[in-house]
Structure 1
Amino acid sequence: MVVTAMVGAAVVGAQYVAGKAARDALFLANFDTSSLPSMVIATSMMSIALVVASSRRLVRVSPGTYVPVAFAASAILLLVEWGLTSTAPGLAARILYLQISGFGPLLGSGFWLIASERFDPHTAKKRFGQIAAAGTLGGLIAGLLAARVATLGDVGAMLPLVAALNLACAWQIRRLARAPDEWRRASGQPARTLKAAPAPATSGWRILAETPYLRNLAALVLVGTMAAIFLDQVFKTQVKAVLGPGASLGSFFALYYASTSLVTFVVQTWGSRIALEKLGLAAAAGAPSITLLAGSAASLLLPGFTSLVATRGSETVVRGSLYRAGYELFFTPVGPRDKRAVKSVIDVGFDRTGDIVGAGLIQSLLWLPQPRQTRVLLGIAMACSAVGLWVASRLRRGYLQSLERSLLNRAVELDLSEVEDLTTRTAMLRTLRFSQPSARPGGGSADAIAHAASTARTEAAYPEIPAIGALRSRDSERILAVLRGENGLSASLVPHVVPLLAWDPVAFEAVHALRTVAEERVGELTDALLDPNQEFAVRRRLARVFSVCVSQRAADGLLLGLEDLRFEVRFQCGRSLLAIAEKSPSVRIDQERVFAMVRKEVAVNSDVWTSRKLLDAADEGDTRSFLDELVRARASQSLAHVFTLLALVLPTEPLRIAFRGLHTSDQGLRGTALEYLEGALPSDIRERLWPFLEDRRTTRRTTRPSEELLADLLRSRESIAINLEQLRRRSGARPEDQAE
């Protein structure tokens, strides 16, 4: 599904970039730049009307149906416009401008609406960056292709290309909308249909009125859009003056949008995350204003085509990368139901209002002669950018306060390990700190008392919040207090305890605490055990937690854990699986699967076989195995693991005696053990295992009946024990060492 979404983003980005190139080229080929302000006003009003209409429509129609149909309709309209370019090019240019500028953003928004509802929040945070990058890359390719088409034909020749891309969008988005249902049907799960979200409980305007920092964000969008439209007017006027009407406009705009897409892709990939981590949201939000201020100043000092292209391109890149990454995060404190309402008000309402106000001001200044008009428009753009910087500087404080309240009130759920930007991480850490009684603000002021009362109510309703704060504190005393709690671990605490297995000061207690809930949380623990991104220390210690389980689910999880790349994880999975099998005879373990794992273990050279060591010693909570008495004193870890696996599918008592017999100095007893193994093991395993047993005899198939071998082996039990005790005394080893 991720690949489907990435392909969908690529074609959506491609059609939008190619459409913008065709829009600008066709319009400027037929009209003067003085006509741009009136078109911007018209498209803004049309866009607002379309948003209202589509929002109502989505209440009744699934986005998975509505959005592909809209793309298909857009493709048909593009073909109609292509036909008009030869008979009524002016009309075609106006309709195309309204379509691309008014309808185009809604099509892209529809794609992201479907994507956001098709991915769970955890997957979305990991994959949306890749999906967005695919969209930018698609725009780059489309820009280069459009430039080639414009070179070979006239400006209108780009329209069939854009129409084909719209049809591809309709098909790919329909696939994305249906992809999870096909997966669910294949796996036997019920299909889930996309439905429009229920109407928000509160209007977007009311949320805006009650949230000061969102009002500042709306003001930033308003003045930022105004600044951008002033710069855009100057930019397109200069392009028209230098290139004139004709096919060269199509090539220029196609290459311009392709270049900005490429740079935006690079900045998105390598710069956005660093900027968010180091500078925070306010700096990212103010980045376009800084860029426009500096670029406009440079254009006034060094006027000309090159400086204006560089300024407009830089502002576009920063707005599409740094600003966009920070802007979306400003809606984190808003609950899911209210987010859609207030976001549409800011995204569309204030953005289009900025277009309308800016275009109106431009229209009132068109009487000014050049180059004075350019200087005045750049000056107004700089003034708007300065206001935008001031508004951006006010965003951080309000955002932090709103996020802290939302976290404490459980309006939003966040995972600190997944938060990238500095501002949100700071808010979360402050929230966790203030949720502790020792960290509450002091003093007797009304605010302090109100804060203490609110915190007390929150802790009473959600007692796990202080515990989560303690588990993340890296304070071993606070962590141990939670792990040793009388009530055990709740479901919400388990994900925060698992990472503590990697921290030695509390790892033992973490293992013990997880064992108390292991059977209840076996699914969650299995996911962590099988996650290759988990630390090695977490996986090897988590495998020991399963030793107290008795269910088939736990056994199945450990069988999968036996395929881990690290030996100690496999070793501990084998021990825990044997403990489950001994306690629960009803647990099913496939013999051929176990033999296949044994074959993998013995398919190594002698250096690897002898070098395998364990980092963790056993503790009193571990289930004892028949291998423990020899595993540290004489037996290799590799051989012990192989015998653990064999004990899952072969009779345990004879295998235990054979394992002990292999470590005696009596060649007769050792020979009996080897002869039993010759008859019990498959031939290919026996041939690979024999060199590690240091047996110099020629491997041969025994002719003695298996019943006779087994009886002989069982009679040797006491002799083996006496021989091992003599070896122990001779080496001076203590019994307790052997038992470890």
Structure 2
Amino acid sequence: MAQDKDRRAALAALISAGVMIAQQVGSKATRDALFLSSFDAEDLPRVVIASAAASMVAVFAASRAFARFGPARVVPFSFGISGLLYLAEWLLVQGAPRPVAVVLYLHTAVFGALVISGFWSVVNERFDPHSAKGMVSRIGTGATVGGVVGGLVAWRVGEAFDANAMLIVLAGLNVLAAFGVARIGGGEGEHEDPVSASTSGLRVLLKAPYLRSLAAIVVLTAISAGLLDYAFKAEAARQFEQGSQDMLSFFAIFHVGAAVLSLVLQTGAAKPALERLGVAGSVATLPTVVLMTAAVAAGLTRIGTVVVARATELVLANSIFRSGYELLYTPVSPDKKRPTKALIDVAGNRVGDALGSGMVIVILAVAPAISLKLVLGLAAAVAAFSLYIARRLHRGYVGQLEESLRSGTPFAAERAVLEAATLQTLSTLGLDREALFEQLAAHQSWSDRQTHPPAEERSAPPPDGIDAPASDPVHARAHTLRAGSPDEIRSALKDEVLDPRLAPFAIALLARRDVHQDAIRALRGIADEIAPALAEAVSDPDQPFAIRRRLPRVLEVCDAPEAAEGLARGLDDSLFEVRYRCALALARIATRLPERRPPREPVLEAVAKELNIGRKVWEQRRLLDDDTDEDAPLLDKARRDRVHRSVEHVFTLLSLAYDPEPLRLSLVALATDDTNLRGTALEYLENVLPEHTRDTLFPMLDVRVEIRKKRSREEIVDDLVRSMQSLDAKALQRAIRESERPADGEER
């Protein structure tokens, strides 16, 4: 039943998106045609400024309504009101064309961006992140197709009737959109204080430099878009002086072409652009192209050059730029993003419109004879400044990502919400993409769940969940671990052997930077008693990432078989540092208890997965707890600084399937600058590893040494004896001798 409801809601969202964008494109074409049929192009800046002012008021009014009633109620109501306005405008346009043209301009400006923003809020609230992943792209495609359909409808109506007739079509489309959005369903809002929500958004924006940069790029691109839009409409008004019918067809055809090109770029070029240029680079494509096309149009002002400048701006803004811009919010925490994004997106655009129109008014007053060239030149200048801001966005974006990683604060979205283009974009940055995934994958912390348990658990006595008499001192100690100061927590963890009943509270402390080392030491003392629970927590995706990456350091001291089994499962985890820690812990256990080693086949499968991730990810991996590591099984701390973590991890895995000592020697040799040593280590690996493993591993090692043809055992050993004075050549000699023995029927 629930799945049927989701399918019906998804279908309603898909259809509503198409209808919504169809009416938006049609309304823009109708608005421009009616206005320019009744007013001169020089009057455009004034009505744009008035529209911007009305939109600013509407932004705050809408934020109140969304907070109080929820978008699922407000958006259908807004579509209904918009449809009634279109109907009223249709009834009045014949008798009062000029006032209706102004009202229509204000109407489309106020309702256009707000209903679209509200529609996506309805979709986000209606579907869970996992369901939304597959639906959002389809809904977006439906919206783009709707843009094409809306332009075609406006074109055909303009050909058959006139622009006035399009108003009744728009009224019908708004009514259809209202019914469609109502069928999606959704929540009813948080009933929070809407005034405080709005003002807090302004405060957050003023205090956040990165968000101010985002607002700046929105305002600047809106200014350049407004300047190009004026030039485009002014040229259109000169070309189509005979009436609104031909003008409506012209605007409709223009918007159809822009919608088609946007669809082509969105589906065919957005992802490659994100892969090659990164997030900020994709954003920079818009001001770059506007700078070039506007400069050409300023130097050679013709209807063709102006149309090209306006069309390229519109197409890029709705495709590559939009894909990159939305991803710039990825590292912003929810408490900053939620109150500011609507202000930046809607109010920022309206402020840019107003500023651009004000510039046009000044130019028309000062130099009307060359106003068009000056407007286009100014658009190019603003685009150049936008390009400068866009280049700074990369540094700001990287800084936000690094700040989130250092603070350990999870991003607002889950990994499932990110589209493939997002993941590819993150891989182009000079950061650890998988570390970002690990932040995205972190759910509500264990500590939060202890402090705010689910409703069905709140009435269960006692409040700490420990089944013991109220007089038992374990309750006081549990309270200290949950709410004490760092010094009190450390004292409680060190006073005596940890009571196993307190294990959940000690595990929760692993998420804290200040006391996690003390928690590790305390848990190690009872690790064998609680090994099954520890092993289960490592592979539990609902546990915070900080806990899951630190639990293997507890499990590595366990002799219980459940510990090794849980760590072996962790080798297949989706997060690199969890896999890395599990491999290190399992290698330490295998050193003490060789019988705990996992079978060779699953280990080689894990190696294959690590080697097939792609070179960019391989090179960008970092560890969040790297500075706290002890000596690893294969390398001491000094030598580990010279070996990349991806390389070390693969060799740790291989040490679970093969003799670890020669692998250690080979890894140390590969970390040296001695060509002969590196060549000898590679030759050993060539003798030992399966062909497929060898062929995928060597390219990842930055192999610049030509691997020689296989030599005899004696030649390899002699070479090692001569050149590996700092290594245990005898151990490697034994390993090479073992590697030449037939391995059929053997497990090791």
Shift of 1:51: 1.1
CA distance in 2, matches of 1:363, 1:45: 16
- Indicate conservation of the 8 Å contact 2:224/2:383, yes or no: yes
CA contact (8 A) 1:208 1:342 kept: yes
Which SS does the other structure have where 1:393 is aligned? helix
Q: Equivalent residue for 2:421?
A: 420
Residue 119 of structure 2 is aligned to residue 111 of structure 1: yes
Q: Distance in 1 between matches of 2:410 and 2:298?
A: 48
Assess if the C-alpha contact under 8 Å between 1:432 and 1:465 holds in 2.
no
For the residue of structure 2 that corresponds to 1:367, the secondary structure is helix
Pair 1:320-2:328 in alignment: no
Residue 200 of structure 2 aligns with which residue?
Answer: 203
Contact 2:415 2:437 in 1 (8 A): no
Aligned pair in 2 of structure 1 residues 2, 229: CA closer, same or farther (>3 Å)? same
Match of 1:697 in 2: none
Deviation at 1:207, TM superposition (A): 2.2
Q: Is the Cα contact below 8 Å between 1:467 and 1:493 reproduced in 2?
A: no
Paired residues for 1:220-231 under 5 Å: 220-231=217-228
* Separation in structure 2 between the aligned mates of residue 459 and residue 285 of structure 1, nearest angstrom: 40
Q: What SS does the corresponding residue of 1:280 show, helix, strand or coil? A: helix
Q: Indicate if the aligned counterparts of 1:464 and 1:493 stay in contact, CA closer than 8 A.
A: no
**Identity percentage of aligned residues:** 34
Q: Closer, same or farther in 2 for the Cα pair 1:366/1:430, shift >3 Å?
A: same
Superposed CA deviations along residues 544-575 of structure 1, whole A, max 9, x for unmatched, are xxxxxxxxxxxxxxxxxxxxxxxxxxxxxxxx
Distance in 2 separating the partners of 1:119 and 1:458: 38
Match in the other structure for 1:429: 432
User: For the residues of structure 1 that align with 2:264 and 2:555, how far apart are their CA atoms?
Assistant: 42
| 1:344-382 deviation per Cα after TM superposition (whole angstroms, max 9, x unaligned) | 221123221111111111111213566611111111111
CA contact (8 A) 2:232 2:310 kept: yes
Tell me what 1:144 maps to: 152
Name the CA shift for 1:424/1:154 in 2 (closer, same or farther; >3 Å).
Answer: same
Q: Is the 8 A contact 2:69 2:188 kept in 1?
A: no
Report the structure number with the largest CA radius of gyration: 1
Equivalent residue for 1:289, pick from 287, 290, 298: 287
CA distance in 1, matches of 2:555, 2:370: 68
Residue 362 (str. 1) matches residue 363 (str. 2): no
- Pair 373,495 (structure 1): closer, same or farther in 2 beyond 3 Å: farther
Q: What is residue 132 of structure 1 aligned with on the other side?
A: 140
Quick one: structure 1 residues 433 and 410, their matched pair in 2 at CA, closer, same or farther if it must change by over 3 Å?
A: closer
Matches within 5 A, 1:84-123: 84-123=92-131
Question: Within the alignment, does 1:164 sit opposite 2:172 as a pair?
Answer: yes
Matches of 2:312 and 2:550 in 1, distance apart?
45
1:212 aligned to 2:206? Answer: no
Instruction: Give the match's secondary structure for 1:316.
Output: helix
Alignment of 1:235-254 (within 5 A): 235-244=232-241, 245-254=243-252
Once residues 239 and 302 of structure 1 are traced to their aligned partners in structure 2, the CA distance between those partners, rounded to angstroms, is 16
Contact 1:231 1:377 in 2 (8 A): yes
Change (3 A) 1:383 1:498: closer
Report the alpha carbon displacement of residue 257 of structure 1 after superposing the two structures with TM: 0.8
Deviation for aligned residue 1:431: 7.7
Measure, in 2, the Cα distance between the counterparts of 1:478 and 1:392.
Answer: 46
Q: How does 1:637-656 map to 2 (within 5 A)?
A: none
Amino acid at match of 2:408: N
Moved more, 419-428 or 128-137: 419-428
Measure how far apart 1:455 and its partner are.
8.9
1:177 aligned to 179, 182, 185, which one? Answer: 185
Picking from 567, 573, 576, the partner of 1:496 is 573
Specify which of 267, 274, 284 is matched with residue 269 of structure 1: 267
Aligned mates of 2:123, 2:315 — CA distance in 1: 24
* TM-score between the two structures when normalised by the length of structure 1: 0.58
Distance 1:230 1:418, change over 3 A: closer
Q: CA RMSD in A?
A: 4.2
Is the 1:43–1:102 Cα contact (8 Å) retained in structure 2?
Answer: yes
Distance 1:414-1:72 versus aligned 2 partners, 3 A rule:
closer
Relative distance call for 1:164 and 1:459 in structure 2 (3 A) is farther
Structure 2: which 5+ residue stretches go unaligned?
Answer: 1-8, 440-509, 521-542, 588-608, 613-743
In the TM superposition, residue 234 of structure 1 has moved relative to its aligned partner by 0.9
CA apart distance, 1:38:
0.7
Q: Quick one: which of 73, 81, 85 aligns to 1:73? A: 81
1:299 — aligned with what? 297
Q: Assess if the C-alpha contact under 8 Å between 2:66 and 2:189 holds in 1.
A: no
**8 A contact 1:213–1:399 mirrored in 2:** yes
Unaligned runs of 5+ in 1: 179-191, 437-452, 511-533, 538-735
Mean Cα deviation higher: 2-11 or 79-88: 2-11
1:642-697 Cα deviation digits (max 9, x unpaired) = xxxxxxxxxxxxxxxxxxxxxxxxxxxxxxxxxxxxxxxxxxxxxxxxxxxxxxxx
CA contact (8 A) 1:459 1:465 kept: no
Cα separation, 1, equivalents of 2:157 and 2:330: 43
CA shift digits 1:119-138 (9 cap, x unpaired): 22233333322211210101
User: What is the TM-score when the length of structure 2 is the normalising length?
Assistant: 0.58
Cα displacement string for residues 471-527 of structure 1 (whole angstroms, at most 9, x for unaligned residues) = 9xxxx999999998849759x979826999x99x99xx99xxxxxxxxxxxxxxxxx
Compared with structure 1, are the counterparts of its residues 468 and 305 closer, same or farther at alpha carbon in structure 2 (3 Å cutoff)? farther
| TM-aligned CA deviation for residue 162 of structure 1 | 0.7
Tell me which amino acid in the other structure corresponds to 1:424.
Answer: L
- Match of 1:420, SS state, is helix
Question: 2:173 is paired with a residue of what secondary structure?
Answer: helix
1:117-166 per-position Cα deviation (integer Å, ceiling 9, x unaligned): 11222333333222112101011011111100011112111111111110
The equivalent residue for 2:592 is none
Q: Which residue of 2 aligns with 1:4?
A: 12
Provide the rounded CA distance (Å) in 1 between the counterparts of 2:371 and 2:218.
25
* Worse-superposed segment, 147-156 or 297-306: 297-306
Counterpart position of 2:70: 62
Paired residues of 1:299 and 1:308 also in contact (CA < 8 A): yes
Task: Give the deviation of 1:92 after TM superposition.
Answer: 1.0
CA contact (8 A) 2:68 2:193 kept: no
Cα separation, partners in 2 of 1:301 and 1:361, compared to 1, 3 Å: closer
Q: Distance in 2 between matches of 1:257 and 1:167?
A: 22
* Corresponding residue for residue 465 of structure 1: 545
Q: Is 1:234 matched with 2:234? A: no
Partner of 2:35: 27
